[in-house]
A and B are shown apart, each in its own frame.
Chain A
Amino acid sequence: MSHFLRRQGWVVGLFALLIVLFIATRIIQPAYGSNDFGSLARAVLPYAFAVAAQTVVVIAGGIDLSVAAMMALTSVTAASMMNGASEEYALFVVPFVLAMGFALGALNGLLIVVTRVPDIVVTLAMLFVLQGAALLVLDAPGGGIAEWLKALISGTVPIPGLPDAIDAWVPKALLVLIVCLCIIWIPLRRSRLGLSLYAIGSSELAAFRSGVPVKRTRIIAYALSGLLAAFGGLALTMSTGIGAPIPGPYLLASVAAVVLGGVALGGGKGGLLGPIVAVFVLRLVRTDLTLLAIDPNVTAIIEGAIMVAVVMFGAFITMRGRQ
């Protein structure tokens, strides 16, 4: 029970940090309004999916280094398939890309289980492979996207009965994020499978001896990670309108947010809410730095330094916990 409280305490603390950051943002830039919040939500979207992908695997006691490359591959695939195609064709592309992410993720898991090579090596090798595949699909940023997909994450949601002033603070991107994650995460968390994920992350041997199908669960964990990364890739294409074969810094960001979100890198602990709030925190820090008129390149350095510091801190805590 105390452990449960402590875990929720971490998330509550993160929320408090987020609110403090919002207040700070308002102080730095009094004009910061609903529009800026909308663009923050759009910027967060791909990161949030990357983090969710990483979280599922980390909870199951692994790590997925191929998240960013998977996003790049799904993004260029979607962008090149939709380039110049009809609006309706996108209805076929979206499930196809998601299925591709799921299948490639499952391949990750399968390779880990079959070859018994550690996850870190397999996903590193897959990082090379997926990056290469992304370059084969599109060798330079390009492609296109259906208009309705773009419209899906831009603007706000009109809620009947609410004044516009409040409406404006509910960007579609945020809603898309919440809906997608809830559809995947809540049933998972409530199911036997979700329990198995936590079980193999906590202690593989104990899980095996209590009858959890360890191998199958591991494969499913990586498949889900691939699916979420595919969502991230789609979100990337939706927000930029094109696909880029060279992935952004999503891998490091995902690990940093997972650690900051209170999910132990050893596995078996934490939830999805913490890492998602952590992504907002990290992105908002970036927004603040930009608002302070700091050179964008310097912002990148500070951001990188924060992420490294967070990961170092997380590793330190894990080490302390073990001793």
Chain B
Amino acid sequence: MSSTGITPVPFGRRLKRFMADRPLIPLVILLVILVVILQILRPGIVNERWIANTIKFAIPLAILAGCQTMTMLTGGIDLSVGTVATMSAFIMATQVVKQDPAVAFLLAMMPAVLIGLVNGIGVGVFRVHPLIMTLGTSLIGTGCLQVYQRTVIASGAKIPDFLAWLGTGVTYGFPNALLLFLPLAALIVFTLARTGFGRLLYAIGDNERATRLSGVQYWQVITALYVTSSVLAGITGLLYIGLIKAPSLSLAEPLVLPSVAAAVIGGTSIFGGRGGYTGTIIGALILTVLTTLLTILQMPEGARRILFGLIVLFVTAAYLRIVEER
């Protein structure tokens, strides 16, 4: 699996060191290569509008991948983000017909908080594996959404103008969604790198036992983490409905697998303790460009999923080799 093992040892080792120390540089290079390939395949496709469009579609993915990054830092994963985003988007679109937008917003965020809380308690207190736990809550959430859908089927849905402006609008060549994303991304990066909470996430992922023995209330950190992750997913749902403009019961589901892949590509270890959000953002951009590329090559959805699976497997195996080397 490790392609670096074939190259001569000194160079290979130096390359590994380099990859381990500065994971962002190879990622940016990969992104540039992908854009160049795109430009070669379809000359002239790369222009201002294309870039704005790519960023617009990468932002929801990047926020969801942020959820994965934070949970993966503790050695977990959050597969309920797709359902949570869909729920909040769907509830927002249907409630805003009758309610005040602020009330609709609060209603839309409620399931997100609830699911995050259940996830957190399941993982933090009962110590269920996060994967199973979040899969279970997403199943329950989808069921609730189906029941809810039948109660609002008569009233119809509409997309609030504000969300449509935020999701699709472009001002001076910059997508409006950046107004939401830039502060959010800055906050996540700051939280992970500079606050106590962020350090606790790294600590738990690195050595959970030691962290607990040094007096950290494990379940409180985990519960806070999963609630945060769910709320972020809920906000993504609102942004995504403004972008897609068609509420459905499987709106954000297709983003779940790519969000895991984006975090893994961005250098966050799925075993916890290593990684950061900057890499994840570039990972999300890479995946968005890759999706465009695959669409141009007319690759079917199935092949895309296979590719994402292989990427996750390959990158994880490669990172494992790099870590072992040190």
User: Which A positions have Cβ atoms within 8 angstroms of B?
Assistant: 63, 65, 111, 114-118, 120-122, 124-129, 131-137, 139, 245, 249, 251-252, 255, 265, 295, 297-298, 300-301, 304-305, 307-308, 311-313, 315-316, 318-319
Contact = CB atoms under 8 A, between A and B. Distances in A.
Interface in B286-326: 300-310, 312-313, 316-317, 320
Interface string B139-164: 11011101100100000000000000
Interface of A is mostly: helix
Contact of A117 (B146, B150, B316): B316
Contacts of A251: 135
Interface string B258-284: 001000000000110000000000000
B20 interface: no
A84 to B, nearest CB: 22
Contacts of A304: 136, 139-140, 143
B122 A301 contact: no
Nearest to A295: B147
Contact of B129 (A116, A117, A120, A132): A120
Nearest to A129: B309
A117 B303 contact: no
B312 A135 contact: no
Contacts of B142: 300
B305 A315 contact: no
B127 A316 contact: yes
Nearest to B150: A297
B131 interface: yes
Nearest to B77: A124
Interface in B197-241: none
Interface of B: 1, 122, 126-129, 131-133, 135-137, 139-140, 142-144, 146-147, 150, 257, 260, 270-271, 300-310, 312-313, 316-317, 320
Contact of B127 (A122, A124, A137, A315): A315
A131 B306 CA distance: 8
B133 A311 contact: yes
Given A111-B313, A116-B320, A121-B270, A128 B303 contact: no
A311 B136 CA distance: 9
Contacts of A137: 302
Contacts of A298: 143, 147
Contacts of A312: 122, 126, 128, 133
Nearest to A114: B1
Contacts of B122: 308, 312
Contact of A252 (B1, B127, B135, B306): B135
Nearest to B300: A136
Nearest to A313: B126
Given A132-B302, A319-B126, 13 more contacts: A116-B317, A128-B257, A128-B306, A134-B302, A135-B302, A136-B303, A139-B302, A252-B136, A297-B150, A304-B140, A308-B136, A312-B126, A315-B129
Contacts of A252: 132, 135-136, 139
B317 A135 contact: no
